[in-house]
Amino acid sequence: MTAPKEDGKFESVVYRIDPHSVLLRAWALPGGVSAEVTALEVERPDGRAQKMVVRRHGEVDLKQNPDVAQDEFKLLQITQSAGLATPAPVHLDTSCRIFPTPYLVIEYIEGETDFAPSDLNDTMLQMATQLAGIHRIDVSNQDLSFLPEQARIYAENFTTRPGKLDESIGEGRIRDTLEAAWPLTQRNTSVLLHGDFWPGNVLWKEGRLAAVIDWEDAQFGDPLADVANGRFEILCAFGMEAMQGFTCHYQSMNPIAFTNLPYWDLCAALRVAFKIPEFAEDDLDEEKLREAHKWFVDQAYDEIAHG
């Protein structure tokens, strides 16, 4: 259970959703980094028990986007209507009367992350299928103006360098390469991007992909950005063969132009600047992550040189 003071607030959350439902218990969910995530178990008027999740975004997300809660709520409405494996949005409260910041309530998904799948190729197939489905959402009749535009974000990123670079990952050379090539000629139609597609944001149940979660980094832009980030994270988690399998599965389902993939790979590699030590479980794990990062960056340079 959560602290008594917090329980009282969650009782108010439940009352806002349904005045006739009763909060049975509330507990913090592990793994929340950018948001405070709390599971609720509720008894409905008919006696049926139901679980849901309250998401309260942290200071970093709110500073970047004060409307992150309502934007995530809108996104989940869109992904649900498209039939994708994402949590259903349940309730949005921007009044700040219960908590000091807006929050959203979403469906509780029975599942967990899996970093040791019994069938790795099938796992890669399911992940690629879901990502391709996200990128194939028809956005022509959707108002995605609330999403950050990827092109603008990267233009700003490559116009001004940070005061300090992480040369342990060769950040200077990566930036040299990207700054010289930017802006890339976009060969693909802009799509809805998850923004942080990796195994830690995918839930599984009995070998089936149950949900893609944590949409606070969603953007609108080139699908290769999501593909590259997935490739790098899969390489670190499962190895080179899994990464290549994921890429091939995605290509077979969404045959977009892959010409600029090496540059997007470098963008993905840049995201971990100064972060590898905090991602690693121990010194040995850090060494493995750095080796994977070097290989990933080197293969991108090689593709650029011979492309």
Amino acid of residue 210? A
pLDDT score of 1 more than 90: no
Separation CA 246–CA 213 (nearest Å): 19
Q: Is residue 94 in a domain?
A: yes
Q: Is residue 171 in a domain?
A: yes
pTM score: 0.92
The residue among 83, 107, 131 that closes a domain is 107
Over residues 155-177, the pLDDT tens digits come to 899 988 999 999 999 999 999 99
pLDDT at 4: 46
For residues 127 and 228, membership in a common domain is answered with: yes
Q: How many domains does the chain have?
A: 2
For residues 155 and 225, membership in a common domain is answered with: yes
Are the CB atoms for 15 and 1 separated by under 8 Å? Answer: no
For residues 276 and 156, membership in a common domain is answered with: yes
Range of the domain at 188: 120-306
For residues 103 and 125, membership in a common domain is answered with: no
Q: Is residue 112 in a domain?
A: no
Taken as a whole, the chain contains a residue count of 307
Tell me the mean pLDDT in the region 12-29.
95
Q: Is residue 113 in a domain?
A: no
For residues 232 and 126, membership in a common domain is answered with: yes
Tokens of 205: 């149940």
Tokens of 275: 């972060």
Separation CA 139–CA 161 (nearest Å): 33
Over residues 257-273, the pLDDT tens digits come to 999 999 999 999 999 99
Summarize the chain as % helix, strand, coil (round to 5).
45, 15, 35
Are the CB atoms for 90 and 184 separated by under 8 Å? Answer: no
Q: Is residue 114 in a domain?
A: no
For residues 88 and 192, membership in a common domain is answered with: no
DSSP designation for 140: T
